Amino acid sequence: MTAIEAVATYLPPRQVRVADLADELSLSPIQVAMFERFHKLTAVRRDDGSLLDLLRAAVDRLEALRGNEHRVRFVLHARAFPVVVPYPVNPLHQLCAERGLRHAEAFTVTQQSCATGLLAVDLAGRLLAECGEPDALALVLAGEKAFTRDSRMLDGTSIFSEGSAACLISLDGPRDRLLAYASLERGDFDGEPEDVAPLFQRGYTPSMAAAIEAALDDAGVELGELSVILPHNVNLGSWRRVAKALEVPPEQVLIDNVLTTGHMFCADMFVNYATARERGRLRPGERYLVAAAGAGLGATFSAMVLEH
């Protein structure tokens, strides 16, 4: 059974107010007010280094990796965007060479946009199950640079933030065992932005709720049994609607990072997990749920149930 061994995150100290990004993102005063007052996105993080620097910062905080580099068979970079650096630059392979992971099979997973972090965890477990080495580990990385306008903002929905995460995955373990993973694909959301945007807005809440319910059914866990729900940090309004549709008390969803860190592409699940642990929201034996959505070439709505 797939298990999370350890998680480390890096949050750049520099915060930039959404209002200060108005010129860069061509935001009108009304749009700035919408993000700040309705979506509750007031500031995002920005890192002054390269993508390699960003990923390295998370890996160097992953203490459980020290001395276990030889056990890592796979390194997966979960990304929202398929292209993030100019050819032939390859920060993932450079990072592996620097940190004693040159022997590992390293590759990128991008197919589900911002929901790819969950896909990478599931895929890492599947690869470990097939490799024939019970002691093997996989390293999942997340984090991207907001380097173009498209990678800085999802029109009318969210503004992307920079940060990174590193997560060790094992085939089995005593902590954070994966009980179920569900992914709902909506190919009908593919098309010209002006055509599919209304469909996405209408379909977001029921699709996210359906993915969550499917994961709970597969795990044999009731919604009321969850100690906490860890969302992706796209905005506050969307999660209020999902919580209402599921009849979940607002306090059961950890939304704090929406306000303080913003939407960090595929790293949200790991950042929220670290916050939940730091605040005592996860206790041994409790079940919790992680959820995310990704838009691009259609849309993906995913959820995972885990036991701490």
- How far apart are the C-alpha atoms of 5 and 176, rounded to whole Å? 7
**Do residues 160 and 187 share a domain?**
no
Identify the pLDDT of residue 8. 98
Q: Give the burial class of 130: count Cβ atoms within 10 A of its Cβ; 0-12 exposed, 13-18 middle, 19 or more buried.
A: exposed
**Do residues 256 and 152 share a domain?**
no
Query: Which of these three, 170, 192, 217, is where a domain ends?
Result: 170
pLDDT one-digit tens code per residue, 5-62: 999 999 999 999 888 988 888 888 888 888 887 777 788 999 999 999 999 999 999 9
Instruction: Print the domain residue range for 46.
Output: 3-170
Query: Which of these three, 117, 139, 170, is where a domain ends?
Result: 170
* Beta-carbon-side half-sphere exposure of residue 9 (alpha carbons within 13 Å): 21
pLDDT at 194 over 90: no
* For residues 287-300, average pLDDT: 90
- How far apart are the C-alpha atoms of 161 and 267, rounded to whole Å? 10
Token output for 190: 């593919």
Identify the pLDDT of residue 272. 97
- Tell me how many domains the chain contains: 2
**Do residues 166 and 197 share a domain?**
no
Contact 117, 266 (CB under 8 A): yes
- For residue 288, the domain's CATH number is 3.40.47.10
Instruction: Give how far the C-alpha of residue 227 lies from the chain's centroid of Cα atoms, to the nearest Å.
Output: 19
pLDDT one-digit tens code per residue, 209-229: 999 999 999 999 999 999 999
Query: Which of these three, 142, 170, 198, is where a domain ends?
Result: 170
* For residues 175-179, average pLDDT: 93
**Do residues 185 and 240 share a domain?**
yes
**Do residues 10 and 155 share a domain?**
yes
**Do residues 251 and 274 share a domain?**
yes
pTM greater than 0.85: yes
Distances (CA, A) of 275 to 55, 163, 280: 19, 14, 9
